[in-house]
Chains A and B, each alone.
Chain A
């Protein structure tokens, strides 16, 4: 061996060793091949006086010898409770007809009108198959089927990822195509037509109600395109950047929502069914940073979304994972969300004003802020399983888009804050 003093053997060897020991994350802790890994969770979501949801999830993952990964997930949701119908609160009792036309409900004075017959059970099946391909490529293909009493959603998706730079950089591109069909009980309402309220139970009512219907079902198509970049910065830090484009076309109106038409004094004259544009284009960027300190992990993300309905939203999400010395961990979570209103959003219409073709008073597309504060506590179980509890408080604060209240509307709450509690227990084995 012609090794001279100038050959820095130790230095060269250090470089080679670094490459071996840092790029190779294979270890005994890795999930054994050919075994199913299951995650189960049960979640409770409760809004004060409004919707309550209970959700059960069973997700299984199996990794095969050639690094193929199969994911299957079943979700069952049961929703009950009341949901805002879009009308404004009034100084007097109001009467509304249920979307089915088979009943009516009354709303007390000064209360936000809620349709209290909101209940549904949803079954969702999700599956995906991930397959390494020649030379650092990974291909994933998946599907989703979701069925509710009056709603069906079917989608397919595919993603191709390529690793570069010894797997320190991953670039991916994917798409998803979804078909959704809605078939509400009582049919679809005619846009901007007046909700039939008077003479409920009579044949006149039935005839009038029938005139507000335009069909039994409609559908929409959604195409999503996604570009992603994941970069390992160093042994402790990983950054992810995503851009997504979404194009939705078809029936985007909510058939259960109305808009109040009020007179100059703010008194409701009637409620008309809302209507939304038949297409929506969204652009979103997402950035996430995960960094590992000695025994904590910081996970911070930011998302910006803008669409041609003129809704712009910002989401900031922070999680801080802290390991305790007994193997347990605590993870506080804070999320802040803010959005601007859709251009066709209005809390109500004043009689005599010209009415645009597109109009909605749904607070969910109005201006709003939302906060989440939560904490998760997890612990390993003897057998290698893990158990975790999550408790979160969520506050949604709709805000005025600048529309000035008139007359009696000054005395009622037009933008009611919603508080919710989320509790979850999850078990992985």
Chain B
């Protein structure tokens, strides 16, 4: 299956706008929202859940107070500052616990154990707006294992190959850490969205390095390209020097904001400059992917 991931070094560059539109333009694809920390595609696609799965990210330490003597050995060995003394009681901070089990190993009274903890859910749905399968997720606030949940979403999306789907469009996680890299490992093509600002260029360089680290083919879209012509030129020069493909530019267009406020894709405003440029980007992508 062809997998295309849309990413940005940072949130807010217009990644969701572009990926929602591309998801609509490609006809027979599976929609995968891998921005599990702050998923937004469902606001546009209005998915109807058909199946939910629990996601267990990892374990957490739990103290059995009938055995605990508050000796504090666990506190000494925990490297994540997850064990604290609260008065004469030893408590575990579930937000800090990484579930490594060192406290379990060291407790002289066998008072600590690791228990599975539910970190979120993921869903197989039918997008009621685009009438195609959609896989998305919700991570519980404060959980760390979002990279694992991203992997589950992607795996679930691949299952649709059996029903004849050939393409998955992934709305990737922002950043360059574990959820972001989890969104790009093994994909066929990466679309990086950037914007012409001082920070946009800085973030672009970091994500380009990251994508190269994972040896993926990629191209860049400059969003809101008209807000700062100088920075835009700087991005183009950087791209040329580095031999980076520019897939297209989307001019700054207030219609995008109107569409967002109304929870609609920009494609519902087909005459808008932003929608027109996204269609051109889509055509270029089709050429590159040979589909």
- Report whether chain A binds chain B: no
* Chain B residues with a Cβ under 8 A of chain A: none
* Chain A residues with a Cβ under 8 A of chain B: none
